[in-house]
């Protein structure tokens, strides 16, 4: 088996919207943030679709926080992407932040996109490329 490792050591935690904009009828159906992440070579940890039940949300927050804790411990670069027209950024940011704070972890860099930015190719590409 060939041995190689091309990982970037850079991971972004994103809302469902970034991969599945068709799930959100009231905002632009744009995959441009995904395209920007792809070009920049970051890994994606996508949070689930936003309107799941409260008990499910807490488990997904725990999973995301476990990954953030592990990546931080190993020196990976981590950022959270949020969409400001989605409730709580589309990633249950207040709950995720509370979970990270309860573990005394550093809050990763938060990169916010506004609705008006979602279809601006160059702006999105330059913003995603300069996350880390």
Partner 1 sequence: MNGVNYMGGKAVFIAHCILNQNSKALGFANRPGLIEWLIDFLKENGCVVEQLPCPEMLYLGVNRWWHTKDQYDTPGFRRHCRRLARRVTDLMEYYLRRGFSIVLIGVDGSPSCGVNLTGSNPYWGGEPNASAEQYQIVEGMGVWMEELLKEIEKREIRRFKIIGLAMDLPNFNLEESLKMLEAELEG
Q: Which residues bind partner 1 (CB under 8 A)?
A: 1-11, 19-20, 22-27, 31, 34, 37-38, 40-46, 48-53, 56, 59-60, 63, 66-67, 70-71, 74, 76, 85-87
d(CA 57, CA 45): 15
| φ, ψ for residue 14, nearest 5 deg | -125, 160
Q: Which two tokens stand for residue 98?
A: 């509370």
Least separation in angstroms between CB 98 and partner 1: 20
Nearer to partner 1, 41 or 101 (CB): 41
Least separation in angstroms between CB 85 and partner 1: 7
Nearer to partner 1, 45 or 105 (CB): 45
Neighbouring C-beta atoms of residue 75, cutoff 10 Å: 7
Question: Which residues make beta-bridge pairs with 77?
Answer: 10
- Dihedral sign for Cα atoms in the order 34, 122, 112, 68: positive
Nearer to partner 1, 2 or 122 (CB): 2
């Amino acid at each position: 088996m060939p041995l190689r490792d091309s990982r970037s050591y850079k991971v972004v935690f994103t809302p469902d919207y970034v991969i599945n904009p068709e799930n959100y009828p009231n905002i632009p159906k744009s995959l441009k943030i995904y395209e920007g992440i792809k070009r920049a070579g970051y890994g994606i940890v996508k949070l689930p679709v936003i309107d799941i039940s409260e008990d499910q949300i807490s488990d997904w927050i725990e999973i995301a926080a476990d990954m953030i804790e592990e990546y931080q411990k190993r020196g990976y670069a981590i950022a959270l992407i949020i969409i400001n027209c989605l409730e709580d950024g589309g990633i249950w940011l207040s709950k995720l932040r509370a979970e990270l704070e309860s573990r005394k972890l550093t809050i990763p860099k938060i990169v916010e996109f506004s609705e008006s930015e979602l279809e601006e190719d160059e702006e999105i590409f330059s913003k995603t490329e300069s996350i880390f």
